[in-house]
Amino acid sequence: MIIRPQNLSTLTLLFGINGSIIPAIWRKVLFTVLVSSAVVAIHGTLFHFKVILTATPFTLWGLTLAIFLGFRNTVAYQRFWEARTLWGELLIVSRNLTRQSLSLLPDLGVEQRRHLGQGLIVFSHALKNHLRADPPYEPAQQWIGDGKLKQHLPNAVLGELGKGYMNAVRETQAGTAAQLNIDQQLTRLSYVLGGCERIKGTPIPYPYILMLHRVVHVYCFLLPFCLVDAIGWFTPFAVCVLAYTFFGLDALGDQIADPFDRQPNDLPLDAMCRNVEIAVLELLDEEAPLVLQAKDGVLL
């Protein structure tokens, strides 16, 4: 996630590269500007044939393209915000379960309480690796400790958490009310897991994305033939601005459509896992690590 610097100056807003979408699209924009310059140099003529394009079709195409891009980016942001809500829920539930292990299970041993708290931390890291298609989180397999390799580590950790908390309730004879409250929190963790998997496993339909990519490229490559007779050598600059807008919106939608990836505009799952770790350990009066800081304006 890009961290917005405070006290932004006008120069930073206009010319800043760090934290912008430019690194992802500059090659496309540069190629479009070069094509525009070539069109101006040949006066819009291809093989002795003057290409005449008026502003009317480009106005209609641009309006339609803007609507399509706006719709796709709205859907992508809805996915991004739902994912952020789910990970916020994960942090809340981790705090609740740790707090309940202290308040509802006061007779629980320190080591057993620490083991359950560690399970919450392990669950967050295992879920992060699962969503990012990274190698399985090894401490999760060690925390389960049954010697069997699990294909779905977050689900396995959640199952062991359920057994651990219910055993703790029975050992401390905390009663049915405590059992129901703790089970409710564990159920919320299950919803978090399922919701994240739904977002990860249901991408925006590929034909829709393919159509948008093609239309954006065709529009930007044909635009110079419309502008060359009207504004001459100012055409490359005008095309550069429009290409930056359309390519930028297209690339931004691609990035946030999969909020669990490692691109600059995706969710900072590493930092969120660290927040879970800090919340759990501090409630248990354990030494907690420091909050992760952004590197070059990007929080991972």
- pLDDT of 146 strictly over 80: no
Question: Which amino acid is it at 108?
Answer: L
pTM > 0.85: yes
| 48: helix, strand or coil | coil
Distance, in Å, from the CA atom of 297 to the CA atom of 18, rounded to the nearest integer, reads 7
pLDDT in tens, 205-244: 888 888 888 888 888 888 888 888 888 888 899 999 999 9
- State the first-to-last Cα distance of the chain, in angstroms, to the nearest integer: 6
Strand partners, 2: 298
What is the per-residue pLDDT across 110-144, written as a single tens digit (0 to 9) for each? 999 999 999 999 999 999 999 999 998 888 888 88
Q: State whether residue 152 is helix, strand or coil.
A: coil
> Which residues have a Cβ under 8 Å from the Cβ of 42 and sit 6 or more positions away?
none
C-beta of residue 266 within 8 angstroms of C-beta of residue 1: yes
